[in-house]
Amino acid sequence: MPRARTVAVVGAGAAGLVAARELLREGHAVTVFERSARIGGTWAYDPRSDPDPLGPEPAAPGAVHGSLYASLRTNLPRELMGFSGFALAGRVFAGDPRTFPGHREVLAFLHAFAVESGVDGRVRLRSEVVRVGPLDGQGERWTVAWRVEAGEVVEEVFDAVVVCNGHCTVPQVPKLRGICNWQGKQMHSHNYRTPEPFQDQVVVVVGLGASGVDIAREISNVAKEVHIASRYTEDRLGKVDIYQNVWLHSEVDYIQDDGQVRFSEGSAVAADTILYCTGYHYHFPFLDVEGLTVDDNRVGPLYKHVFPPKHAPNLSFVGLPNKTIIFQSFELESRWVARALSGRAALLSEEAMAATVQEDYRRMEAAGKPKRHTHALMPDWVEYMDWLAAQAGEPPMEARRRELYEKALRCIWSLDDSYRDSWEEENRRI
């Protein structure tokens, strides 16, 4: 007979919503705590940005959570952004039928998902979790303290906690050598909303991930010049053919004494703004759990990115991995957590999980993968997804999904935005 547990979920973004659905399906009693006044997390576009764009300290409570820009369209096709039994493909939720829809469409999809799955009735809005800790040291039960709107802090005890607080809020900013010589403006993509402030500027965009590519492209419509710096450009340095005013460089080497930005390949530019599209830090200000750390952006020790061995299955994290089909990994992780809590998925012993984690770290090191990329699943993303699927009692990933995802990645890297609109035609062949 599966065990039903009381479970607190922290955060009502895509991860928290699907975690709650899977927990409910497994028969658990679920309460979702959401700090903001609405569900949807990242996908609830917020036109505000943080006042101190490059504050070295993590964002203060109440700072802007979202990092979406006004024009944002998904970088994955609809087909890869739904949940099982509730697809984003084949339906229109907010009047945007495009294969790569804008953020409003995804937000409306998440709302509809929450309603249909019954999760919306489990969400406590304006309830910021301020502390999560084991009640008894053993982690058999967990105290969750949250601040209600009036400011009062209330505590409640649960059997388990699933952490889904989102990981695209606290900017990660590289310390550039010679930055003391920089007189211009700096900002992080967390605070980028629209291109207008960059009119006629020379802009250095640091980083060539999905946001870096999108933002560089958008800014190039108004800026004088856009220079993208990345360590992944070695084979295609120089002007980008399809744009009048975009150049690819290797990494920023240092800021010269005269304030110019110098790149590793030897060129330098006098720029107005450095725009960091360099990702985010994991941040869990509310966790009061001994032995669980964030070290150089590695959250650990975590068994398969989900369970701290000492507290499994009662404490878990859904949504840490990136470089994968994100919504699908949320769902598979959630299903595994729900089944581990009910006793339908067996976990290894604490010692065996801890040993596996250490072995995974050793393998990453041997492969030359930096610690800060611990949760970036490339190149083994399918292996991870299939492993999760097996825990959740699901078949391995279909070849078509894998091909679509890998194709989307290649398109992002091509710097050519036309893939979003030409996709439909080309993918009839896959």
- Closest to 402 measured CA to CA, from 22, 18, 76, 14: 76
Strand order in the sheet with 142-147: 128-134, 142-147, 153-158
For the CB of residue 68, give the shortest distance to ligand FAD in the complex, in Å.
5
Nearer to ligand FAD, 10 or 341 (CB): 10
For the CB of residue 262, give the shortest distance to ligand FAD in the complex, in Å.
28
Q: How many CB atoms lie within 10 A of CB 4?
A: 14
- B/e letters for 10-40, b = 16+ CB within 10 Å, e = fewer, are bbbbbbbbbbbbbbbebebebbbbbbbeebb
- Closest to 126 measured CA to CA, from 103, 154, 105, 106: 154
41/166 Cα distance (integer angstroms) = 8
Tokens read off for 338: 């729900």
For the CB of residue 147, give the shortest distance to ligand FAD in the complex, in Å.
9
Nearer to ligand FAD, 32 or 246 (CB): 32
Nearer to ligand FAD, 303 or 327 (CB): 327
Which SS3 state, helix, strand or coil, does residue 310 take?
helix
For the CB of residue 13, give the shortest distance to ligand FAD in the complex, in Å.
2
For the CB of residue 266, give the shortest distance to ligand FAD in the complex, in Å.
32
HSE value, Cβ hemisphere, 13 Å, CA-based, for 255: 19
Nearer to ligand FAD, 72 or 160 (CB): 72
Nearer to ligand FAD, 263 or 405 (CB): 405
Query: Which residue spans within 11-152 are E strands per DSSP?
Result: 29-33, 123-124, 128-134, 142-147
Nearer to ligand FAD, 334 or 391 (CB): 334
Q: Give the interface with ligand FAD as residue ranges (CB under 6 A).
A: 10-16, 33-36, 41-43, 65, 67-68, 72, 74-76, 81, 128-129, 164-166, 168, 211, 286, 319, 326-327
Nearer to ligand FAD, 81 or 306 (CB): 81
For the CB of residue 282, give the shortest distance to ligand FAD in the complex, in Å.
11
Three-class SS of 96-129:
CCCCCCEHHHHHHHHHHHHHHHCCHHHEECCCEE
386/397 Cα distance (integer angstroms) = 6
For the CB of residue 238, give the shortest distance to ligand FAD in the complex, in Å.
27
